[in-house]
Structure 1
Amino acid sequence: MKLLRVGTAGAERPALLDEHGTLRDLSGIVPDIDSGLLADRAALARVREAAKAGRLPEMAGGTEADGLRTGPPLTGIGKIVCIGLNYHDHARETGAAVPEEPIVFMKAPDTVVGPDDTVLIPRGSRKTDWEIELAVVIGRTARYLSSHEEAMAAVAGYTVANDVSERAFQIERGGQWDKGKNCETFNPLGPWLVTADEVPDPQALAMRLWVNGELRQDGTTADQIFPVAEVVRYLSHFMTLRPGDIVSTGTPAGVAMGQPEPKPYLREGDVVELEITGLGRQRQVMKSA
């Protein structure tokens, strides 16, 4: 299933995108797409059954092309755990050593915006960068997992994330990476939460990102140093992952930081577009904060 939330910010309604590209209203079946739904197998089964039987009404506005705003596909996010330097080609372009264990940092849930919402370049920014990422949405409590099979069983689905980063804040200002990762609007998410049954192999997804129409990132999740199953298993030994948590699994080569001088960091008016196979497409316009 492709689950999403549409409407004005803070007043989104749950929806399903059917195989014909029509938005179907879920508000008569579930109150929202959140941790409660992801953890409730019976509720998810009701949604699947209603969709298969054609009982879901068409949402006013019809299709995504009709202009309804798409919000983040999930609300009530508990935590966002991010993995740094998780692609071989990205490590090479930045001159970094391949990590022996996953590099872990956190991103605050209030950085999340819709996939097509405006992204604000922070005041004082010189090096705002883009990062397309596969985001894993957790559907079962995961603690001290012992196998990759257990890890994959904890995954509810997948979505697209843009891990927007301010490199000067992140690297040159001292302390941890968090200062360059948690600026307002720095986590466009969506458009869809695609349930895990529709993604048989998360290590076989093409990822592309364009800036002002120029292809900048063209990678694949097959290049991940630590695959999805290992990332989820590993994290469960350091923290409890709960339904509604998100794990953002790193970015392939092609970020501005890895380009020759002058590095093409983002400026007001730039347009970033990104997509992952089967998970949908985002588009953001940059604006000064």
Structure 2
Amino acid sequence: MAALKIIFAGTPEFAVPALAALIEAGHHIAMVLTQPDRPAGRGMKLKASPVKTLALQHHIPVFQPETLKDPAVQAQIAEVHADVMIVAAYGLIIPTPVLEMPKLGCFNIHASLLPRWRGAAPIQRSLLAGDAETGVTIMEVVPALDAGAMISHASLPITERDTAQTLHDGLSTLGAALMVQAMQTLAQQGKLESTPQDESLVTYAAKLQKAEADIDWSESASALSRKIRAFNPFPVAQTKLNGEVCRLWMATEAQSQTPVKALAGEVVAIGDYIVVACGEGLINIEELQMPGGKRLSAKDFIRGHAISVGQRFGD
């Protein structure tokens, strides 16, 4: 296989497996575009992105402009004379002049089965909606949001225990393998077959808002389980317990067949889980956290906190 000269544009952990896989496959990564270092942690010291960290380990030139709209920035990218640009959760708008620079095109790893869930939070929206599966799509990058023609896709089932984090990790690995496959075809054939998206099937995955994390116990157990898992690790679902904010990290729908007469938010059983009544059905809370405390399993939480049957969440 001929090695392609690639500009890789990515920033967070999601993009790391793709960059690693392309290096492993023997392609020449001529430049890595990633967002500028940002303040992080308690000391708010500048921290390199995960993609930058990997690039530096492999002695790949890293370029971190604040914007790609600056003509001087565009000139620097043009000097690479890349065959391809690959984008994975880069986070900056890529203007048309930059998209047109690579000889063989610009391709993106998108974490959904397009045209479903274009936009900022496809993994979480897929979980929230109760989709049976999610996936990744390799697509051409065009100026419109996630609207490019599709090259290939692979799916991943969503289980009743999946969180946004577990799906993120699975899709990240899947996307890396799919992109390497696409680049192998491109290197051999000089082009990639693509299929336009059906605009009538488009749905949008709006960015998550912190206000969405508040739990409304009148919702069904299945909806609340999905919400708690979709918001793990961010922004983390929350409710009130004993007048304080309690964060809920993991919960599954209880499979009890016996109807329970209880108010929404009421604790109906305590054991391996904290079982809580919802607007419809019961939920097993498995992992939770009080202010200043650690994330605890329900068992450990029960030992150290005042909680009993009949008490209500959301008070």
TM category (shorter chain) comes to under 0.3
Q: Give 1 or 2 for the bigger CA radius of gyration.
A: 2
Q: Which has the higher contact order (CA 8 A, sep 6+)?
A: 1
Structure with greater helix share of residues:
2
TM-score by length of 2: 0.23
Structure with greater strand share of residues:
1
